Amino acid sequence: MVTSRSAAAARQPVVSLRRRGSVLERAILEAALEALSTVGWNGLTMEGVAAGAQTGKAAIYRRWSSKEELVAEALRSAMPAPGVAPDSGNIRDDLYQLCRGMRDAMLSTSGSALRSVIHECDAGTAERFQSVILDGVIRPSTDLIREVVSRGVERGEVRPGAMRELAFDVIPAMMMYRTKVCGSEWDDAEIAALIDQVAVPFFRSEPH
């Protein structure tokens, strides 16, 4: 039963904590990421982010004029460092380890936030996040794949003709496509199938 006291409490505004500058900005960005990973792009509101950050809506609008600007900055701030390309001595194991790392990043809070944007935004809105996705996800991933393949060429297990930009896009494209369209969460067996059935045969096969 909802009493008059509980109803009044529910109407009370969120009490702002006394934080300023970078501390407050970090709280807002983290609240935006949390909202994206839980309620998604369509469910995210500036009011909800303000409540999550325990601040007022005005504090957000002083820094970001729109939901799109706030989300873009939140995604940029949360992108993990690219890391180091694995070097196990053979391309199969290197690509497998690399894909597991990509999968884990996709399932993290920042990865879930990014997927909600990719899945839910219409084409016009998604274009605003293109540079965030390219610079924070696609290019770092393809750079690591390029390094792994280049080592394979040096070891003689990969044909030099496999050093093609489109070839480096295949693994990230497959992972994003099957995540978005098929709902795949990329367990270890599916990653192994991608490497064994698609990537390794291409890189090791002789040109026709």
C-alpha to C-alpha distance for 115 and 166, rounded to whole angstroms: 23
DSSP classification of residue 196: I
100 C-beta neighbours (distance < 10 Å), count: 15
Q: State the pLDDT at residue 183.
A: 80
Residue 99, judged by CB atoms within 10 A of its CB (0-12, 13-18, 19+), counts as buried
Q: State the pLDDT at residue 138.
A: 85
C-alpha distances out from residue 16 to 8, 12, 66, 187, Å: 18, 12, 21, 42
DSSP classification of residue 162: G
pLDDT tens per residue, range 86-120 = 999 999 999 999 999 989 888 888 888 888 887 78
C-alpha distances out from residue 63 to 28, 69, 72, 85, Å: 10, 9, 13, 36
Q: State the pLDDT at residue 157.
A: 92
**Average pLDDT along the chain, 208 residues, taken 10 residues at a time:** 41 52 92 92 94 94 94 88 88 96 85 82 77 85 94 92 90 87 88 95 72
Q: Give which of 169, 163, 144, 174 is closest to 203, Cα–Cα.
A: 163
Q: State the pLDDT at residue 35.
A: 93
